Chain A
Amino acid sequence: MPLEKIIFTVILLLMSALFSIIPGLTRPDLFFAVTVTPEFRPTADAKRILGRFRTIVWTSALAAIAIELASGLVLAALLIVGVGFLGALVSSHKLALAYATAPNSVLEVNLEAPREGLPGGPIVALLPVGSVVALGVWANLNLDRLPQRFPVHWGLGGPDRWVVTTPASVFGLLAIEVFLCILMVGSALAVFLWSRRISTAGPRAAGERHFRRRVGLLMIVTEYFVACPAWFALFQPSATIMNAWGLALGIVIVTFAVSLIHLGQGGSREAVAAGGAPLGDRAPDACWKWGVFYFNPADPSFLVEKRFGIGYTLNFGNHWSWAALAVLILIPLALSGLLLR
């Protein structure tokens, strides 16, 4: 069997394994994005829903692997895995809704909670942006000394896609890099300043703060890696350096992912006292469309914790979310057009 097929098969299996464990990564009083009592998870009904979810996920994976091995249709295989996962999620969410319970409506806010901000402060966060801007100033003064073409994509063997050096392509690339860096800083800032807190007092609130800080750190560290390709494109280092950069980035992301799962989203690994009303994520279940999209105009939050999986998602009931989404789509499109023109 060709090496590529083996690698792809392993990737599909890893994806399915990840999908299988995702339901266990949420808070104990959330089950397939539905607020339930913490005692529900060990029941036979919950196990039946979870078992059904995993059966669909693994059946899709096996079907995808069979199609990929037989016909080599990689996209079709990925589509089958993706559709299988989403179908399993949505149907499990609908089944879990039968066991929904109202979350605790009483909130306690700690008025002395420490203020949160970017790890390392704004200077550390904006240093990569400054470095790319400085590179742009240098490039502007030395346009005639730049190589006739520069790489914009790298494979394992080195650069594999190039563009002709023009002022538009050089500054287009640098603008993309600046945009990506600002996106990272903005995302970290949004988590600290504009995300909804679930627990706002006690040890669970401290757990949530710890989780947010780790997410912010991931964003800032990744930003430093994201700024590097601009330098690589214009100074064209050896493939070894590029591969080392790619490997280091991969290690950083995997390390953070493992540590975030270990920490547990917002204290999801903490035990919940039995008997009381569940806290959930303090949002009505009806605001979670298919358990994935959050739409709540009454909630001022821009970001909210995902109910399914680790991380944050947009509150589509907040008009700023739509503005951010438009920026996220339109600016990269415009800058890519500038680069590839």
Chain B
Amino acid sequence: MTLRVDLKSSIPVYRQIVDGLRILLVNRELHPGDPMPPVRRLALDLGVHFNTVAEAYRTLAEEGWLEIGRRSGARVVARAMPNRVDPQSGEIFQRRLQELVAEQQSRGVTRGKIARDLRRIADTLEGT
């Protein structure tokens, strides 16, 4: 179970940590009750400031994924999925997806390759 971060990406490291951990949480690779790596350890492993990791943990705690104890550190908690979906979320999702596709295209990735990547993700989603 790995967390991947690109230090040269235009996306802030804090955001990459949040996004990477959220993928693991949504995919149930991190289970309720699992302890998260200590902030200090993860920061040292990534070579980033402690506050960057602490901020990422706080964001995930606010989203309901983590519980942060003073002494016990961060722990995954059971999170109930929201009953009502924000009507604008679909639109926002599509826009972000289009932005990502455009970004990939601007890097020279072919449309076919992008389509295959999207299909693989879709297949994974349908499989679960």
The interface of chain A, by Cβ under 8 A from chain B, is: 105-113, 193-197, 200-201, 282-283, 298-301
Contacts and interface: CB of A to CB of B under 8 A. Distances in A.
23 contacts: A105-B6, A105-B8, A105-B9, A106-B6, A106-B7, A107-B4, A107-B5, A108-B3, A109-B5, A109-B42, A111-B1, A111-B2, A111-B3, A113-B45, A196-B44, A196-B45, A283-B47, A298-B47, A298-B48, A298-B49, A300-B48, A301-B44, A301-B47
A108 B47 contact: no
A119 B82 CA distance: 47
Interface of B: 1-9, 24, 30, 36-37, 40, 42-50
Nearest to B9: A105
A29 B127 CA distance: 42
A194 B24 CA distance: 26
Contacts of A298: 47-49
A107 B43 CA distance: 12
Q: Which 8 A-B pairs have the closest CB atoms?
A: A105-B8, A105-B7, A108-B2, A109-B45, A109-B3, A200-B45, A111-B1, A106-B6
Given A107-B7, A301-B44, 5 more contacts: A108-B3, A109-B4, A110-B2, A195-B44, A282-B47
A107 B9 CA distance: 11
A109 B5 CA distance: 8
Contacts of B8: 105
A295 to B, nearest CB: 14
Contacts of A110: 1-2
A298 B45 CA distance: 13
Most chain B beta-carbon contacts within 10 A, residue among A193, A194, A200: A200
A300 B2 CA distance: 21
A195 B1 CA distance: 22
A300 B52 CA distance: 11
Given A105-B8, A111-B24, A111-B37, A300 B43 contact: yes
Nearest to A302: B44
A110 B37 CA distance: 10
Contacts of B24: 111
Contacts of A108: 2-4
B12 to A, nearest CB: 14
Contact of A300 (B5, B37, B44): B44
Contacts of A197: 44-45
A109 B46 contact: yes
A270 to B, nearest CB: 19
Nearest to B51: A300
A91 to B, nearest CB: 29
A106 B5 CA distance: 6
B11 to A, nearest CB: 12
Contacts of A201: 2
